[in-house]
Amino acid sequence: MPHVIIVGCGFGGLAAARALADAKVDITIIDRSNHHLFQPLLYQVATAGLSAPAISAPIRSILATQRNLTSLMAAVSKIDVTRKTIALEDGSEIAYDYLIVAAGSTHSYFGHDEWAPLAPGLKTLADAFDIRRRILMAFERAEREADPVRRAEWLTFTVIGAGATGVEMAGTLIEIARHTLRGEFRRIDPQQTKVVLLEGSERVLGAYPPDLSEKARTQLLKLGVDVRTGSRVTHIDEECVRYADQGGEQRLASRTVIWSAGVAASPLGKSLNVPLDRAGRVIIGSELSIPDHPEVFVIGDLAAAISDGKPVPGVSPAAKQMGRVAARNILNRINGKPLESFVYQDYGSLATIGRKAAVAMVGKFKFSGYPAWLFWLFVHVYFLIGFRNRLLVMSDWAWAYLTFKRSARVISSAIDTPVEKPDDAPSQ
């Protein structure tokens, strides 16, 4: 039987695997983690609203009944399209007849990779755990800080980038400070927390129409977020963020910085030796395959695809649709049938801002506030994988809505809190 390798079990890779469930092919799906992640709700884990199992599920469990599929937990280091093999991180190789690359994207710091340890982005559960630790530890450090200036630095949170993730993160952070932590500290008042949202362009949610963008900004301001558009970050260190705006160079004292300003395609795309766009995405044809190698398909965030003359956005519905089309085209090629051109179906855009605050665009309909928030909630619960996940999310959200409490606020001191060695301690 033809061997199909799928690299990545995100939305696109999973959709492709399921579309081939009844096909007479041998499938190997490879992912560096052992779980599929519902990434749109990842910020909820980072802000202690949800636990990791609520938005993730083991890949082996999801695909356990698919008998034509083998799942491997491994990192792909290289793709050799000439020899039709992929190399894993341990040096072993696997041959394929057809390949679907759905490796996704990573953080982009626009040439300033030295900012990464100081301003983590949010792509994986590990990122979410790191950000959650930083957020909760900032309040703990503020409680112990006697100097009011340094205490204010710990109580100032900076979110860089006002796309959907940045807007959601900023809105949730201010709600944690104003409501969740109320009455829990004795030396600090969490309501004095400052959340600053920096955006280099002139609008938040720049991919949305101007009227919805403005409504999002208004809702953020109403929640208490300090929104600063037209602010381009120039420097980040452990104590501050520097940025340039119309008034020149500015300094913002902040100990906790979260990055949501940009993404870059997986570096795996380079090994295909085909043209890439400025973001490192693979330029593909309408059939989702790469030039000169019709057996190799690229989908999801790694693909620079065009539909109806417009770039396909890097969102989960697009990845799912691409995965299904790539799977059908593999079967079409096996059976000698004409290949299908990818046509993106835009089902709309959603972004939550905070409690009862969101914006939504579905076709020609645009709405915001509480109706958009309810719509966002039910859409995300509907698309979660597995009944247990839906039940967990609904129960956690219902509890948070009624009490303002967030259930995942645990820091493991053994793992998350760095232990300082005495000066005379031997090095390892």
CB 264 within 8 A of CB 98: no
At 422 the pLDDT is: 40
At 414 the pLDDT is: 44
Residue with tokens 């100032």: 156
Per the prediction, the chain carries an average pLDDT of: 91
Comparing 237-241, 306-310, 423-427, which segment has the lowest mean pLDDT?
423-427
Mean pLDDT, range 98-115, rounded to an integer:
94
Mean pLDDT, range 22-49, rounded to an integer:
94
- Predicted confidence band at 427 (pLDDT cuts at 50, 70, 90)? very low
232 residue type, one letter: R
Q: Which is more confident, 363 or 327?
A: 327
Residue range 367-416, pLDDT digits in tens? 999 999 889 888 888 887 765 677 777 777 666 665 666 666 777 654 44
Residue range 215-247, pLDDT digits in tens? 999 999 999 999 999 999 999 999 999 999 999
The model's pTM:
0.89
At 390 the pLDDT is: 74
- Predicted confidence band at 49 (pLDDT cuts at 50, 70, 90)? confident
Say if residue 426's pLDDT is above 50: no
Mean pLDDT, range 239-256, rounded to an integer:
96
Q: Which residues are catalytic?
A: 168
Cβ burial of 141 (10 Å; 0-12, 13-18, 19+) is middle
* DSSP codes joined into one string, 129-156: HHHHHHHHHHHHHHHH---HHHHHHHTE
